[in-house]
Structure 1
Amino acid sequence: MTWDELLAYCLAKPGAWQDEPWEGDVVVKVGSKIFAFLGSEGPGVGLKCGPNREAADEWLARYPEDASVMPYIGRSGWNTLRVAGKIPDDEVREAVDASYDAVVAKLPKRERPT
């Protein structure tokens, strides 16, 4: 999966929109919250990979070379998953879906996509 394909997949989610809150760092939001950190056409995507660090650590155990804890927000279950590595594309898409769902669930009802 390329960076452009990953971005397109994220943007196909209901209510998803692209933002660049930091120069050169693309993120995808739903409502006012980020569900995917894509950076600047880099090799990975930052996603909410579990409700807590323990659950998100399963990615690190399964893919030690291609999954890492995100700086600053990793303690809350966010990981960076390397794209085009050993993680199959369908698992990356499933992780995007799960991150999106987790973020939508925490949004105030008025911000949730219809």
Structure 2
Amino acid sequence: MDAESLLAYCLAKPGAWPDNPWGHDHPVMKVGESTGGKIFAFLGPDGVGVKGGPSREAADEWLARYPGAASVMAYIGRSGWNDLSFSGTIPDEELLEAVDESYRLVVAKLPKKYRPVGWDD
């Protein structure tokens, strides 16, 4: 898995769009209207940041399964966000499932008027 492949995967999700609010080399992926959009994935050259679960405890399962390849995200980790490495330790299918779950968790918290059609299919 690499950032380019994951970007294409994220963009295929209903209502997903890239944003670059901090001017980094890789965008964050958002869902929802531009004024109410929320981040569901932080793309980077070496991995992706995702909402690992509805709570920090649920997100910690990633840390236990993949020590060294999964870590708590700086600043927002206490809210259940993890960094997952593209090192090959985490299978690509699981990285995609993590993005799917992050997307699902973020969209479910959006006001209904900002949820894209087809997001729960």
Q: TM-score range by the shorter chain?
A: over 0.9
Pairwise CA distance, 1:65: 1.1
Pairwise CA distance, 1:83: 1.3
Identity %: 70
Pairwise CA distance, 1:60: 0.4
Question: Who is 2:56 aligned against?
Answer: 53
Task: Return 5+ residue gaps in structure 1 as ranges.
Answer: none
Question: Who is 1:112 aligned against?
Answer: 115
> Counting strand residues as a fraction of each chain, which structure ranks higher?
1
**How far apart are the structure 2 equivalents of 1:105 and 1:36?**
15
Task: Return 5+ residue gaps in structure 2 as ranges.
Answer: none
Question: Who is 1:21 aligned against?
Answer: 21
Question: Who is 1:101 aligned against?
Answer: 104
Please report the RMSD computed on the Cα atoms of aligned residues, expressed in angstroms.
Answer: 0.8
Question: Who is 2:38 aligned against?
Answer: 33
What count of residue pairs does the alignment treat as equivalent? 112
| Moved >4 Å (runs of 4+) | none
Pairwise CA distance, 1:26: 1.0
